[in-house]
Structure 1
Amino acid sequence: MVNAIPSLLGFSEKNGQWFAEGISLRKLTQDFGTPLYVYSKEAICSAYRAYDSACIRPDGTRRARIHYAMKANSNLAVLDELKQLGAGFDLVSGGELARALHIGADPKSLVFAGVGKSSAEIENALRVGVKCINVESIPELQRINAIAKTMNLRAPISLRVNPDVDANTHPYISTGLKDNKFGIAYYEVLKTYREAALLPQIDVIGIDCHIGSQITSTSPYLDALDKVLDLITQLQREGIKIHHLDLGGGLGIDYGGESPPNITEFTNTLLNRVEERGFCHLEVLLEPGRSLVGNAGILLTQVEYLKTGVDKNFCIVNAAMNDLMRPTLYEAYHAIVPIHVSQAKPNCYDVVGPVCESGDWLGKDRVLAVNEGDILAILSAGAYGFVMASNYNTRGRAAEVMVDGNEAYLVRQRETPESLYENERTINQASALK
């Protein structure tokens, strides 16, 4: 397979060498080592502005607000740049809430989603005063009401609707079908809103829908949107007022062959449908993640060995499935390119890592001209890359760097073996429970 190279902003090839904005990738590996995640500030800001421009009417009034889905990439530097641009945040854990507060995000810019929130997470979200908690089940609604009662607070909530719409994406990242674990079934939503409106500690303020990730067509969004707008119409008839409409995220990116909608056109299409149906009064929330950061990041890795086999040739690199899980988990495609021209003869390789698993691969059947010691760039790794990394095989997670023009900033240090077991104790070192 010849690599299908995605359209990238912030990363470019010039005269046989690859650059991140104004810095050569070779220099970054010399300064920071490998494996190394590299993010382009320019690419992140450009993607955000594409969304934001579609959220502003010609008269300057705002049609929608952007809440970044931080599960895609929660590095503090990424969050801080988006906060400075005006983004709010979509959270799915107490840890993500802590990260958002750490970079100074306004609690009223935070929407807390997630299908399995603990009591401690709900209590903390209410204590700090998040904008909204997206409720994913009837038991969760009851729990939020009970916790709010003990805290003598009112809980602002939105119900997440499961519209039973096929997003035509990988089944592991489809969230809007009736057999998915997410949200409240469409046929139960009206009944649940009626119950929520009667609970003493609950303030119903919104409605939420998210149908999946890496979606490359607008039509599933419109199908889901129409179903949600029908619900709002019925709720209004019953006197249940909805203040905001949360349309979620999930817009796909070009990994090397996909043709997702243009961000601005996509956003305009959804917002125009909302207005055409007479809901201009609603505050609309959009929650992009992958489409903001996916093509703004790459993973650099060094070729350790070139191994010739009977049926396969293997390019063994020092990055692995613990660094980038997507190929193993989803059989996802990432383009892989040498960062400089080599005199080596092109050959077809499976690009694999050193982890002791047959599933440890980063790319299959790639035609590459490389020698041992060369550096490869795994493209489109800015979303669901580092955030899904693990320490399997006691491997430290990669360093992370953000490039801004001609400057590179180390925004997360590489983990050492010692840092991985510093909180562990042998039984002789540990204190027995009493």
Structure 2
Amino acid sequence: MIDFRALADKYDTPLYVYDFNHITEQYQKLKKAFSGRKSLISYAVKANSNLSVVSHLAGLGSGADCVSIGEVKRALMAGIPKYQIIFSGVGKGDDEIEEALEDDILLLNLESEAEMERVEAIAAKLGKEARISIRVNPNIDPKTHPYISTGLHENKFGVDLETAKRMYIYANNSKHLDPVGIHFHIGSQLTELEPIREASAIVADLVRSLKAIKIEIKFFDVGGGLGIVYDNETTIEPYEYAQAIFSTLYGLDVTIICEPGRFMVGNCGYFLTRVLYEKVNEGKRFVIVDGAMNDLLRPSLYNAYHKVEVVGKAGDESEADIVGPVCESGDFFAKNRLLPPTEHNDLVVVYSAGAYGFVMASNYNTRPRPAEVAIVDGKDRCIRQRETFEDLIKLETMCL
């Protein structure tokens, strides 16, 4: 049991808290599920990129899925071996591509023919052969929020099957490209298994057709997206997830790469914020807290649900919105929730805040970002200090 009051008193609020034992449990569940075949669990760094989080996963044997050269640098700094790092993303700059090739990471995941041409040209300039995979868009509806759907033709990610095949043939004939992998990822917070199985079957058929023309794919990257419980979702069991993918890979000798992010860290995290005061506008109750949308954006961005709790409070509950100090009507953590009466300095815990929480935080309204704290075997330590006003302005100059 985490003592939220003690942590808030020690580190102040707003505050992020991460249970590292939960991260370990999630990693081991997924690794065990895929143990029937060659596999690499490659953590999606974008979900929570704190160096201590990535280092903890490195110690468990995890790889890293990165979507910027900054994330690649974080992964290397945290101890992820270079041969377990994948560089994905739609818009890689020339300098990012060059640095990734110089770092000799496992592979670059490509999203278009134009990107392939840039990678080939840069590899030629460096006198290198670039290991690549191609992200295939299987046009499968993932049954998730449209903002985190990625596998339909209307989404910006990946290429269609015919384009992918043409790219593989081109790469296979290039002196500076080595097509070693294939990749798909249909969306995040997936709670239905069938779209995943369908997508895997489509991409596996493409791998078999490539094998028939002597293009051997070594890495079959199924992306991530496994959902977690925020409210009352029915989630996919890791074993069933792995078995669904296995069922599509008959006749193929490939290493499966899985790129979990939210699944690994989402429910390890808690966001702590204190009540400043309450107000009522013509019968509408607001609980105003010291945290805000700049600290945790998901409720404002996606209208996402997070469980909230007022620690140690009871009493007659009534509906209230939990809102922050930022000067936007979209600054809220919860709307129309049944809450007990609150007072100044009462502590509110927002659950399931480990993924896409701090990483999406900003300094809007000149608000310093919160501290981050890790809990390992019941012991707490600060893994990112709270920002100060001086931190916010240190790169600025006044031109008079």
TM-score of the aligned structures, taking structure 2 as reference length: 0.98
| 2:210 alignment counterpart | 235
Structure ranking higher on relative contact order (CA contacts 8 Å, 6+ apart):
1
2:360 to 388, 392, 400: 388
Note the alpha carbon deviations across 1:77-98, whole angstroms, 9 max, x for none: 1101100000000000011011
- 1:43 and 2:22 are equivalent in the alignment: yes
Partner of 2:73 in structure 1?
A: 98
What's 1:244 paired with? Answer: 219
- Give the aligned residue type for 1:144: V
Which residue number corresponds to residue 166 of structure 1? 141
Alpha-carbon contact 2:17-2:372 (below 8 Å) kept: yes
Deviations 1:339-387 (A, max 9, x none): 2234x54221101110000011110011111222100000000000000
Does residue 269 of structure 2 align to residue 297 of structure 1? Answer: yes
**Aligned 8 A contact 2:184 2:221 in 1:** yes
- 1:56 has 2:29 as partner: no
Contact preservation (8 Å) 2:161, 2:206? no
1:165-314 to structure 2, matched below 5 A, reads 165-274=140-249, 277-279=250-252, 281-314=253-286
Q: Contact 2:47 / 2:261 at 8 angstroms: preserved in 1?
A: yes
Deviation at 1:268, TM superposition (A): 3.0
> Which residue identity does 2:245 align to in structure 1?
L
Distance 2:272 2:161 in 1: 44
Residue 405 of structure 1: CA displacement? 2.2
Residue number in structure 2 paired with 1:432: none
Residue identity matched to 2:103:
V
Structure 2: which amino acid aligns with 1:38?
V
1:141 — aligned with what? 116
Quote the Cα distance in structure 2 between the aligned partners of 1:196 and 1:150: 16
SS in 1 for 2:105: coil
What CA distance in whole angstroms lies between the structure 1 residues aligned with 2:248 and 2:264? Answer: 23
Structure 1 consecutive aligned stretches of length 4 or more whose deviation exceeds 3 Å: none
Give the secondary-structure state (helix, strand or coil) at the position aligned to 2:248.
Answer: helix
Contact 1:37 1:386 in 2 (8 A): yes
Rounded to whole Å, the distance in 1 between the matches of 2:394 and 2:220 is 45
Q: Deviations over 1:295-340 (max 9, x none)?
A: 0101000011111121421011111110111111111000100122
Tell me what 2:328 maps to.
357
The whole-number CA distance in structure 1 between the counterparts of 2:283 and 2:242 is 47
**Equivalence for 1:7:** none
Per mean C-alpha deviation after superposition, the further-off stretch among 328-337 and 190-199 is 190-199
Q: Is the 8 A contact 1:315 1:351 kept in 2?
A: yes
CA contact (8 A) 1:161 1:208 kept: yes
1:182-239 Cα shifts (integer Å, max 9, x gaps): 0012232111211221222000101110111001011111110010011011111111
SS of the counterpart of 2:17?
A: strand
1:246-303: CA deviation from partner (whole Å, max 9, x where unpaired): 00000110001111112233223323432xx222x11110001100100010100001
Kept in 2: contact 1:303–1:317 (CA 8 A): yes
CA separation in 2, counterparts of 1:346 and 1:55? Answer: 45
- Give the match for residue 414 of structure 1: 386
Q: Is the 8 A contact 1:217 1:260 kept in 2?
A: yes
Mean alpha-carbon deviation: is it higher for 327-336 or for 265-274?
265-274
Deviation at 1:113, TM superposition (A): 0.3
**Aligned partner letter, 2:118:** R
Distance in 1 between residues matched to 2:141 and 2:113, nearest whole Å: 23
Aligned partners of 2:236, 2:159: CA distance in 1, in Å? 28
* Pairing partner for 2:293 from 321, 327, 333: 321
Mean CA deviation greater in 98-107 or 357-366: 98-107
Look up the match of 1:126.
101
CA distance in 2, matches of 1:87, 1:104: 10
Does 2:64 align with 1:89?
Answer: yes
- The one-letter code sitting in structure 1 at the alignment partner of 2:83 is K
Residue in structure 1 matched with residue 12 of structure 2 by the alignment = 33
What is the aligned counterpart of 2:41 among 62, 66, 79?
66
Distance 1:413 1:208 in 2: 37
CA distance in 2, matches of 1:28, 1:156: 46
Show CA shifts across 1:33-83 (max 9, x none).
0000000011100000000111223xxxx5311000010001111101100
Q: How many residues align?
A: 399
CA distance in 2, matches of 1:193, 1:312: 59
> Residue 426 of structure 1 aligns with which residue?
398
**Can you give the 5+ residue segments of structure 2 that lack an aligned partner in the other structure?**
none
> What is the rounded CA distance, in whole Å, between the counterparts of 2:263 and 2:105 in structure 1?
24
Q: Work out the CA distance in 1 between the residues paired with 2:150 and 2:283.
A: 38
Q: Deviations over 1:382-432 (max 9, x none)?
A: 00000000000000001000001221010000001111001111014xxxx
In the alignment, the residues of structure 2 paired with residue 325 and residue 241 of structure 1 have an alpha-carbon distance, to the nearest angstrom, of 43
Does the 8 Å CA contact 2:23/2:264 hold for their aligned counterparts? Answer: yes
**Structure 1 segment 144-159 matched on structure 2, within 5 A:** 144-159=119-134
Note if contact 1:36-1:400 (Cα within 8 Å) is conserved in structure 2. Answer: yes
